[in-house]
Amino acid sequence: MKKTLLGNEAIAWGLLYAGVDFMAAYPGTPSSEILETYQKLIKQMNLPAYAEWSTNEKVAYEVAYAAAITGKRAACGMKMVGLNVASDAMMSSAYIGNRGGFLIISADDPGFYSSQTEQDSRYFAKFARIPALDPSSPQDAFRLAVVGVNLSEKFEIPVLLRPVLRVCHGRQIVEIPDFEFKAKKGSFERDIERWAAVPRNPRLKQGYELLRKLREISEFNYEEFLKPQIEKLKGEELLIVASGTPYAYVLEVLEDTGLKADVLKVDMPTPLPVDRLKEVISSYSTVVVFEETYPLIEEQIKHLGNVKGKLTGDVFEIDEATHERVAESLQKLGYLKKNVYVGKKYDKELPPRAPSLCPGCPHRTVFYAMKRVFGNKAIYPSDIGCYTLGLNQKAVDTVLCMGASVGLACGFSKSDTEKPIVATVGDSTFLHAGIPPLIDAVANKHRFILVIMDNSTVAMTGLQPTPERIGNVSIPKIVEGCGVKPLILNYDGTIKSTLEFFRKVKETYEKANGPVVAVVNEFCTFDKERVKLPGKFAKVDQDKCTGCGHCIREFGCPAFRWNEEGKVEVDPYFCVGCGVCLSDLCPFDAFVEDKR
């Protein structure tokens, strides 16, 4: 059958096609729709399969890996920074291997569209000594997901599938052959030598075994993927070696410009049968490598011939692949006379549209009140989630990685004792990686305030459920278990009570000699089950507005804008009727209700 699918949906279909009956994931853009789709499909088709959102990526990895140990076919999903978290389990599991096929899906984000790094997950595969597959389109992602599961089972080794944003969020008509879904019964078979191998000898033995597997997989890579293509090369002057989406851009650039070149697609950038490639690489006068994001293939083949790429400065080293960038390299190398990918830009300046919290979002009120109580002098460590956008209100000073608001607050409390410290973290991020540093804070008496902004959902990645919602996990009880009794605010949509709450938090902090934790129960405006918007729309009384800018600077609702008279007005198109600005925001009480 043919379907229009996102790359992530195509991967979920690929998993089912390959008989994967167990999947665990932690959400993260651009990977989240994989598990969402997998979950939806097994429900719709009533398939005997299991799917879960795990607490973090390491947990997702371990939960799914256990299923693969019992002989089930399993997969885990995450974004690339999630693989950092899961890497501890990944490194070790590479040695131990699996019985049922085990696919690790790590989605990369070249171009930093919604990530703090541009890291290349394929390097993690090389580091762990497992194979990586690099799809170039949604259709290709379907194919390689299936290949990956089968390869993993055949060699009893975890396999990494690395789709990039443009594959995950690419949309294409995808062909899915008919299939019958067969689940496997899991059965743990005791094998202490294998599953509980300890240093030195049992692990060393597994290390030798891993190297042997890698040599065999490298040969498989040549026979299955590379040789059939090499046999068809036409012997043009230029050879382009490409993997992932750059392969697709290369094909279109050649088509659009009429440039003649041979193209070799690399499906599996590691392990690469380097010796087998020597003959073909050295037979071309020039070989150009296009890949995302780091030069993994290029590093392995650069000594085989006249190889140009990122390392030689001929190909872009950062940011995502585009037609423009591919053509630019080919032009620099003298293969194209001009870059055809130029358009006419609008020549005047446009107002920037910076990311900001949604209209009506409770985070904005919390940041506003927090900032009014603790002022400019305080240090505001924050974390990964929608609330990172509190930086627009200058209520976020640091963003490092999941859970780091708490860890950094611990360190700041001992290294800058002059300033108050107010850290913010979301509920999912706190449960993901914020608990160990809170325990550290209690144990080592780190004095700071931690505000847990609890909307009971993973809002930024598309409202995936959190443990509180699906399992009655209680954040206040966890905090209490760590050794602090939290202060709790049930957000009521007013600045007044939010301010009162933070004044109380401040009093507690002044007397404290360890961490103070505040839990604010909020909602996400997209959360149909819990959203509470009173439908009080706002407008600005133009006679009262002095144009002081307090509301735009300190609160910054996207519905506020400057008009030509230098005063503020509310854009009715963006106002959602939260009513927050109607009291205690404007020093001149200029916001009034717009009765619609």
Partner 1 sequence: MRYQIVLTGVGGQGTIFLVKLLAQCALNKGIDFIGTETHGMAQKGGTVISYLKIGNFRAPLVGEGQADLLLGLYPTETLRFLSYLKPNGYIVTNIEDAFPKIEGFKLFTVNASELAVKGEINPKSLNVFILGYALKVVEGFPFSKEELEKAIVELNPKFADANIDALNKGYSVASRL
Report the binding-site residues for [4Fe-4S] cluster.
Answer: 545, 548, 551, 557, 575, 578, 581, 586
Place of tokens 């979950």: 39
By the 8 A CB rule, do 136 and 245 touch?
A: yes
101-120: which residues touch partner 1 (CB under 8 A)?
113-114
Q: Determine, following the binding rule CB under 8 A, whether residue 181 of this chain makes contact with partner 1.
A: no
As a whole number of angstroms, the distance between CA 167 and CA 500 comes to: 48
Choice from 177, 199, 343, 535 touching partner 1 (CB under 8 A) = 343
Minimum distance, C-beta of residue 350 to partner 1, in the bound complex (Å): 5
Q: Determine, following the binding rule CB under 8 A, whether residue 258 of this chain makes contact with partner 1.
A: no
Cα separations in angstroms, 175 against 9, 265, 268: 12, 20, 22
Give me the amino acid identity at 4. Answer: T
Helix (H) or strand (E) holding 59: helix 57-69
Minimum distance, C-beta of residue 502 to partner 1, in the bound complex (Å): 24
SS3 107: strand
Q: Determine, following the binding rule CB under 8 A, whether residue 252 of this chain makes contact with partner 1.
A: yes
Count of residues that interact with partner 1, criterion CB under 8 A: 53
Choice from 87, 229, 322, 494 touching partner 1 (CB under 8 A) = 322
Site string for partner 1, 124-153 (x = CB under 8 A): ------------xxx---------------
Q: Determine, following the binding rule CB under 8 A, whether residue 585 of this chain makes contact with partner 1.
A: no
Q: Which of 288, 456, 293, 478 is nearest to 385 (CA)?
A: 456
User: 576: number of CA atoms within 13 Å, CB side?
Assistant: 17
Question: Residues at the annotated binding site?
Answer: 545, 548, 551, 557, 575, 578, 581, 586
Place of tokens 């963006």: 574
Helices (H), 283-351: 296-301, 323-332
Choice from 205, 323, 419, 550 touching partner 1 (CB under 8 A) = 323
Q: Determine, following the binding rule CB under 8 A, whether residue 293 of this chain makes contact with partner 1.
A: no
Q: Determine, following the binding rule CB under 8 A, whether residue 190 of this chain makes contact with partner 1.
A: no
Residues in CB range of 564: below 8 A, 6 or more apart: none
> Before 30, cis peptide (omega within 30)?
yes
Q: Determine, following the binding rule CB under 8 A, whether residue 200 of this chain makes contact with partner 1.
A: no
Choice from 46, 177, 199, 350 touching partner 1 (CB under 8 A) = 350
Cα separations in angstroms, 370 against 143, 360, 418, 495, 548: 50, 17, 18, 10, 21
Q: How far is CA 297 from the centre of its chain?
A: 24
Q: Determine, following the binding rule CB under 8 A, whether residue 346 of this chain makes contact with partner 1.
A: yes
Q: Determine, following the binding rule CB under 8 A, whether residue 471 of this chain makes contact with partner 1.
A: no
SS3 154: helix
Choice from 32, 54, 119, 172 touching partner 1 (CB under 8 A) = 172
Q: Determine, following the binding rule CB under 8 A, whether residue 527 of this chain makes contact with partner 1.
A: no
- List contacts with partner 1 (CB under 8 A): 2-4, 113-114, 136-138, 165-167, 169-173, 245, 248-249, 251-252, 256, 322-324, 327, 340-346, 348, 350-351, 353, 355-359, 386, 388-389, 459-460, 525-526, 558, 572-574
